[in-house]
Amino acid sequence: MAAHAAQTRLTPEEYIAFERKASPDSEIVRYEYLNGELIAMSGASREHNLITGNIFGELRNLLKGSGCETYASDMRVSSPLTSSYFYPDVVVVCEEPRFEDDVFDILLNPVTLVEVLSPSTEAYDRGEKFGHYRHLASLQEYILVSQDKALVERYRRPKKHETVSITAKDWIFTAFQALEDILPLTAIECELPLQEIYERVTFPD
């Protein structure tokens, strides 16, 4: 989903009040909140929507009965240590969900986050946003999915006993680049074939 910085600066409390005034059925643009600034989230492409829906649908089915909950696009995630708020494309929580308040629309303890990359958001999702996500103690896996080619990148927080070569500031990186590959999501104990992730998606020549 494309992101564009707005020129308005708000406190976290003003941001939440502003977002909650918008009707779920309205055409009002959603905003992420980063360092006091609003980041407008514009409409997504067909491919972006297909991939997000495929991942959400597969995870919902795979995790049925597990106690985990899966959300797509509209669940806000907070990084309290950096006073920031984001709309990941897919979110999974497996402990008892913890929320910022009794409105239950700001999740505090995701275990897996998925972002589908767009040209306008790729650098943001890989860099500054991931930097904020890394402050979430509950987060175990961060998944980046390209929409113009078969490429899924997984960043996994290493377990204490692991002594492997690590990147991205102590996260283990693995790339999956063929439709025959299977993405293992160890934190939630399931696997996603890339063929399912990219079902009905046509890549540019």
> What are the structural domains, with CATH classification, of the chain?
44-197 (3.90.1570.10)
- Whole-prediction pTM value? 0.90
Among 27, 23, 57, 32, smallest CA distance to 43 is for 27
Using 50 as the pLDDT threshold, list the residues of the chain that sit under it. Answer: 166-168
> Which SS3 state, helix, strand or coil, does residue 73 take?
coil
How far from the centroid of its chain's Cα atoms is residue 167's Cα? Answer: 20
- pLDDT given at position 164: 52
Strands 90-93 and 69-72: antiparallel
At which residue do the structure tokens 């930097």 appear?
Answer: 131
Strands 112-116 and 141-145: parallel
- Residue 13 CB neighbour total at 10 angstroms: 8
- pLDDT given at position 67: 95
- pLDDT given at position 166: 47
H or E element: which one contains 194? Answer: helix 194-197
Burial of 19 (0-12, 13-18, 19+ CB in 10 A): buried
- pLDDT given at position 29: 79
Q: Are 87 and 30 in contact (CB under 8 A)?
A: yes
Q: Which residues contact 28 (CB under 8 A, 6 or more apart)?
A: 22
